[in-house]
């Protein structure tokens, strides 16, 4: 779903995955579903270890969206309350146009797509008006 | 006799309510705590409790965050996972909207 949105809108919007603190490391809060899919990782101890898990994530889930790594101290997660997952659309003026509710319950790409369409339509109108 | 039954029932209900609210408070406090603390708390919580809690409602409230739609997005500079460079959010200002997908593998 996210790859599809990326392919569809990548020429009109910038997309990034922000790889943040693990939701279910095996030493803290193991999930049966992760064990079944062999997604079992201990809590990374530094940036390098987090980067390795993030790389496995991108490869194994075949994510085409470019990924950014939130450092080990989690500054971006804290600023955006991004854990365990969350979607945002930032408009061209640097303002928050869409903020999903916190995942997993609040994570709905189709809801984000509607917001993105609105932002792009508004940009198009403004662009047309100034020319 | 009847009066004492009513009284006992009432007291029991009151005690359960207080315990319930206290429990909700503990869960909510942990939801607001850093993720690793919340994860540790949840991993010890017996599964049946998941179903008797207004979990989503508490979660949405606890994790509402510090800014709203319409506010300036907090700027950040982050390294790309492929280590090809760094990306600054505000560098896209004036050009394109930015979609951010927060998440992890697990």
The pLDDT of A107-123, averaged and rounded, is 95
- Do residue A68 and residue B78 have CB atoms under 8 angstroms apart? yes
Q: Answer yes or no: do A76 and A90 share one domain.
A: no
Q: Answer yes or no: do A30 and A72 share one domain.
A: yes
Q: What are phi and psi of B22, to 5 degrees?
A: -60, -40
Among A84, A87, A102, beta carbon nearest to B101: A87
Domain assignment of residue A10, yes or no = no
The pLDDT of A58-73, averaged and rounded, is 90
Rg (CA), chain A: 17
β-bridge pairing A14-19 and B98-103: parallel
Q: Answer yes or no: do A31 and A54 share one domain.
A: yes
A95 touches chain B (CB under 8 A): yes
Domain residue limits at A96: 85-131
Q: Answer yes or no: do A74 and A20 share one domain.
A: yes
pLDDT digits (tens, 9 = 90+) for A7-50: 999 999 999 999 999 888 888 888 888 888 888 888 888 888 89
Domain assignment of residue A7, yes or no = no
Domain assignment of residue A41, yes or no = yes
- Do residue A21 and residue B99 have CB atoms under 8 angstroms apart? no
Among B72, B87, B105, beta carbon nearest to A56: B105
Q: Name the least confident of A79-93, B13-27, B64-78.
A: B13-27
pLDDT of B34 > 90? The answer is yes
- Do residue B43 and residue A89 have CB atoms under 8 angstroms apart? no
Q: What are phi and psi of A60, to 5 degrees?
A: -75, -30
Domain boundaries along the sequence of chain B: 2-69
Using an 8 Å CB-CB cutoff, list chain A residues near B72: 94-96
- Do residue B71 and residue A41 have CB atoms under 8 angstroms apart? no
Can you give the three-state secondary structure of chain B, one letter per residue?
CHHHHHHHHHHHHHHHHHHHHHHHHHHHHHHHCCHHHHHHHHHHCCCHHHHHCCHHHHHHHHCCCCCCCCCECCCCEEEECCCCCEEEHHHHCCCCCEEEEEECCC
Q: Name the least confident of A22-31, A102-111, B28-37.
A: A22-31
Q: What pLDDT, on a 0 to 100 scale, did the predictor assign at position A59? A: 84
pLDDT of B41 > 90? The answer is yes
Q: Answer yes or no: do A20 and A62 share one domain.
A: yes
Among B42, B73, B102, beta carbon nearest to A85: B102
Q: Answer yes or no: do A97 and A48 share one domain.
A: no
Among A24, A87, A94, beta carbon nearest to B73: A94
A90 touches chain B (CB under 8 A): yes
CA distance A129 to chain B (A): 16
Q: Name the least confident of A15-19, A32-36, A62-66, B66-70.
A: A32-36
Percent of chain A with pLDDT over 90: 58
Domain assignment of residue A2, yes or no = no
Domain assignment of residue A34, yes or no = yes
């Amino acid at each position: 779903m996210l790859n599809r949105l990326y392919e569809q809108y990548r020429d009109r919007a910038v997309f990034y995955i922000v790889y943040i603190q693990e939701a279910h490391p095996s030493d803290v809060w193991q999930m049966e579903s992760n064990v079944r899919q062999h997604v079992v990782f201990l809590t990374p101890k530094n940036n390098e270890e987090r980067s390795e898990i993030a790389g496995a994530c991108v490869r194994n889930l075949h994510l085409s969206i470019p990924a950014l790594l939130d450092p080990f101290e989690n500054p971006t997660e804290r600023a955006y309350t991004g854990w365990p997952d969350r979607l945002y659309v930032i408009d061209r003026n640097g303002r928050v146009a869409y903020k999903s509710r916190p995942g997993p319950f609040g994570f709905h790409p189709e809801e984000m797509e509607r917001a993105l369409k609105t932002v792009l339509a508004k940009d198009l109108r403004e662009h047309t008006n100034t020319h | 006799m009847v009066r004492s039954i009513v009284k006992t029932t009432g007291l029991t209900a009151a005690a359960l309510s207080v315990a319930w609210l206290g429990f909700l408070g503990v869960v909510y406090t942990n939801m607001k705590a850093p993720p690793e603390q919340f994860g540790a708390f949840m991993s010890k919580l017996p599964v049946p409790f998941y179903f008797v809690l207004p979990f989503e409602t508490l979660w949405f409230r606890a994790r509402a965050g510090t800014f709203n739609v319409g506010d300036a997005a907090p700027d950040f500079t982050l390294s790309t996972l492929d280590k090809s460079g760094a990306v600054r959010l505000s560098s896209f200002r004036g050009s394109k909207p930015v979609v951010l997908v927060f998440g992890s593998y697990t």
